[in-house]
A and B are shown apart, each in its own frame.
Chain A
C-alpha cells in the first residue's frame, strides 16, 4: 500500500528525531568522559584511565564507520585541547579507530561484548603506541622507554580492565533510544 504524504512526512520527522536524539546522547557522553578523563581523581596507583578510546569503539559498534569516525573526531579533538602534544593528533587517531572498528563490525565481526573488548584492547594499544612513537620517541624524549613502561602501559591496563563497561553503556543508550522511538 502506498504511503500518504502525511505518513511520509511523519516517518521523515521520526528519522530526524532519532538521529538528533542519538547524536545528542553520544555528544553528551563524549563531553562527559573527556572531562572525567582530564581529572586526576580517578587515578589508581598512578595509572589514569583513557575513557575516550573504549567509548569511541562502543559508539562505532552501533553507528558504523561514518558514525564511529565522527565520534572519534569529536572525542579526539576534545582530548587534544588538554593534551600536552601537537593539536589534532588524537582527533586523527580516534577518527581512524572509529572508522576501522565500524567497518570491521559491518563486514567481519559479530557485535558482542567480547569482540568489543578485544577491539578496545587493540584500539588502546594502537593509540598509546602511536602517541609514544610520534609524540615521545620521535620528539627525542631521552626517557621514552621509561615513559612507556611506567606511565603509558599502566594507563593501558587500567583502560583495558574498564573497557567492557563502555560496551554495555553504549548498548544501553542504543536500546533506550530504540524503545523511545
Chain B
C-alpha cells in the first residue's frame, strides 16, 4: 500500500486529478465546455458517433421489429428464402421511412423558402439527462450557431446551446432552461413556453403567463411567436388549461408534436427572415 502511494504512477494520477479538477472549475466558471475539449470532441468523437448512430438506427429498427414475440416465433419458423424476403422488406421500410421524412422536409422547405436549413443526424444523448437533450452531427462548419432553432417535419424540437466544429448540442423543448414565446393559433393568445420535470416525464410542457380571461381551449394548436425564433413553427396542442396558484394568470399543458426521445434526424434553421412586426 505504502509503495503504491509513493510510486510514480500514483503521483501522475494525482497530477491528472488536479488537472481535471482545474478543468471542471474553469468549465463551471465559464458556463460550459471549454474550447479545447470541444475541439477534441469535434475532431475525434463526432465522426465515430455519427458512424455508430447510423449502425444504431439500423439496429434499433431491427430490434423493435424483433421485439414482437409473435413475429419472432414466425420468423423462427420461416425458411431461409422467406427470411431473406423479410430482410428486404425491412430495408424497403427503412427506405420508405427516409423517403417520407425527406418529402416532409421538402414540403417544409417549400412552405418556408426564407429558411436556410442544415440537415443533421442525432448522434448522442446522455442517459442521465431527464429532458432528452441531444447532440447532432453538424456544427459550426455547416453554419450552425448557438441559438439556432432545431425542427423536424412535425414541429419544433429544440434550440442549439453549444456548437463545436462538427457537432452541436441541442436543448430540447422539455428542458426548463429553454423559454420560448408562443401563441394559440386560433385565438392569438400568447404565453411563455417552458418545461418542468414533472411534465417532461410525461413528454409534456407548459405554456405559462397567459391572461386570466383567455378563450383558448383543449385541442388548440400552439406555435412560436417569433423574435428570437422563426414565427409560426408548430409546437403542439393544448391538453388542458388550469389557473396558476396566484389566481392572476392561467397556464396550458401542451402535448408537443415532436417526441424528442425518439427523433433520429432533424433540421437546423441556420438563417431566416424575421417576419414578426415589433409591438408598439
A residues contacting B by CB (< 8 A) are: 31, 34-41, 48-50, 65-66, 69, 73, 77-78, 80-84, 86-89, 91-92, 95-96, 99, 103, 106-107, 128, 131, 141-143, 146-147, 150-152, 155
User: Which residues of the partner chain B approach A48 to less than 8 Å between Cβ atoms?
Assistant: 127-128
Interface string of B22-66 (1 = CB under 8 A from A): 011001100001100100110001001100110011011001000
Q: Which of A38, A77, A88 contacts B125 (CB 8 A)?
A: A38
CB–CB B20/A143 < 8 A = no
CB–CB A84/B126 < 8 A = yes
Q: Which of A31, A91, A131 contacts B128 (CB 8 A)?
A: A131
Most-contacted residue by chain A among B53, B130, B198 (CB, 10 A) = B130
Query: Chain B's nearest CB lies how many Å from the CB of A95?
Result: 6
CB–CB B37/A80 < 8 A = yes
User: Which residues of the partner chain A approach B130 to less than 8 Å between Cβ atoms?
Assistant: 143, 146-147, 150-151
In the complex, A83→B52 CA distance in Å? 17
CB–CB B129/A84 < 8 A = yes
Most-contacted residue by chain B among A50, A66, A95, A155 (CB, 10 A) = A66
Question: How would you classify the secondary structure of chain B's contact residues: helix, strand, loop or mixed?
Answer: helix
In the complex, A70→B57 CA distance in Å? 31
Q: How many A-B residue pairs have CB under 8 A?
A: 121
CB–CB A35/B4 < 8 A = no
In the complex, A81→B41 CA distance in Å? 6
In the complex, A128→B127 CA distance in Å? 11
Q: Which of B9-17, B97-105, B178-186, B214-222 contacts A (4 or more CB under 8 A)?
A: B9-17
Kindly state whether residue B197 has any CB partner on chain A within 8 Å.
yes
CB–CB B53/A152 < 8 A = no
CB–CB A155/B17 < 8 A = no
Q: Which of B52, B57, B201 contacts A36 (CB 8 A)?
A: B52
CB–CB B13/A41 < 8 A = no
Q: Which of A81, A92, A142 contacts B20 (CB 8 A)?
A: A92
User: Which residues of the partner chain B approach A92 to less than 8 Å between Cβ atoms?
Assistant: 17, 20-21, 24
Query: Chain A's nearest CB lies how many Å from the CB of B22?
Result: 8
What 16 additional pairs, Cβ within 8 angstroms, besides A40-B261, A82-B126, A146-B198? A39-B56, A40-B262, A41-B60, A41-B63, A50-B128, A66-B9, A82-B41, A82-B135, A86-B24, A91-B20, A95-B13, A99-B13, A106-B4, A143-B198, A147-B197, A151-B128
